[in-house]
Amino acid sequence: MLFSGVIYTARDQAHKRLVEAIKKHKRIPIDLKDATIYYCGPTKTPKGKVIGSCGPTTSARMDEFTPILLKAGVWGLIGKGARSAEVIKAIKKYKAAYFLTYAGCGALLAKYVKKAKPVAYKDLGPEAIYRLEVQDFPLIVGIDAKGVSIYDKE
C-alpha cells in the first residue's frame, strides 16, 4: 500500500522521552492522537534536498515503549522487523497498525518525502522528532488491527 500524509519520526531516545513525559504528565511536544510514528533517524539533509537518506530502524528496540504510546492515542507504527507479543496485544487492543517499509533503502524512500522539519527534541540530532509530509510512501502491513502478524503467516 501507499501512504500519503503526515508521519513523525521517533526512535530510541525520543521514545524514552515521550514515555517519560506521558508517565509524569508533562507536556507532549506532538499531538499523539491518531498519529503515525516512523522509526527513523535520517542522515543530515544534503544541500538542495528535502531530506537525506531516511529508511526504517529496527522496531523491536521500541517494543517496551510502544504499548504506552498506543494507549496515548498513536495509531500507526512504521519500521522494520518483528514485534513482541505485548506490542501485538496492544495493537489489537487499541485497533492500531504496524507497517513495514523497505529496509536499508533510505535513498529510495527519500523521494517520497515532500517536506521535513524537526519539531521536538532537537538536541537529539538524528534522533529528534521530525514531522514528515510523505506522498505514496510504500508500506506493507506488518500487524493489522486484529493483531495478525505478517511474520506468523510467512
Partner 1 sequence: MKTVSADKIKDAVARLCVEANLVLRSDVLKALKTALSKEKNKRPRRILNAIIENAAIAKKEKLAICQDTGLPVVFLKIGQSVVIKGDLTAAVNKGIVEGYKRASLRNSIVPCPVTRGEPGFSPAVIHTEIVRGDKIRITVLPKGFGCENKSQLKMFKPTASDKDIKRFIIDAVKAAGPDACPPYVVGVGVGGTADYACLLAKKALLGSVIKLSAPEKELMREINKLGIGPMGLGGSATCVAVKIMTFPTHIAGLPVAVNISCHALRSASREI
Exposed, middle or buried, 73 (CB in 10 Å: 0-12/13-18/19+)?
middle
Interface segment toward partner 1; rule CB under 8 A; list 23-31, 36-44, 69-77, 91-99: 36-44
Segment contacting partner 1 (CB under 8 A): 18-26, 68-76, 84-92, 146-154? 146-154
Q: What distances in angstroms separate CA 49 from CA 21, 28, 61, 62, 76, one per listed residue?
A: 33, 29, 29, 29, 26
Known catalytic membership, residue 25 = no
The least distance separating partner 1 from the CB of residue 34, rounded to whole angstroms, comes to: 26
What's the sign of the alpha-carbon dihedral 111, 115, 118, 119?
negative
Sign of the dihedral defined by the CA atoms of residues 59, 72, 29, 21, in that order: negative
Q: Which is nearer to partner 1, 30 or 38 (CB)?
A: 38
Residue with cell 493489522: 144
Q: Is 43 in the site for partner 1 (CB under 8 A)?
A: yes
Q: Which is nearer to partner 1, 32 or 77 (CB)?
A: 77
Helix (H) or strand (E) holding 152: helix 150-153
Q: Which of 15, 17, 80, 83 is catalytic?
A: 15
Is 44 a binding residue for partner 1 by CB under 8 A? The answer is yes
Which x/- pattern, by CB under 8 A, does the window 106-125 give for partner 1? xxx-xx-----------xxx
Distance CA 130, CA 81 (A): 22
The pattern of x and - marking residues 47 through 66 that bind partner 1 according to CB under 8 A reads x-x--xxxx-xxxx------
Output the nine-digit C-alpha cell for 42.
Answer: 535520517
Query: Footprint of partner 1 on this chain (CB under 8 A)?
Result: 13, 40-47, 49, 52-55, 57-60, 80-82, 100, 102-108, 110-111, 123-127, 138, 140, 150-151, 154
Q: Which residues are catalytic?
A: 15
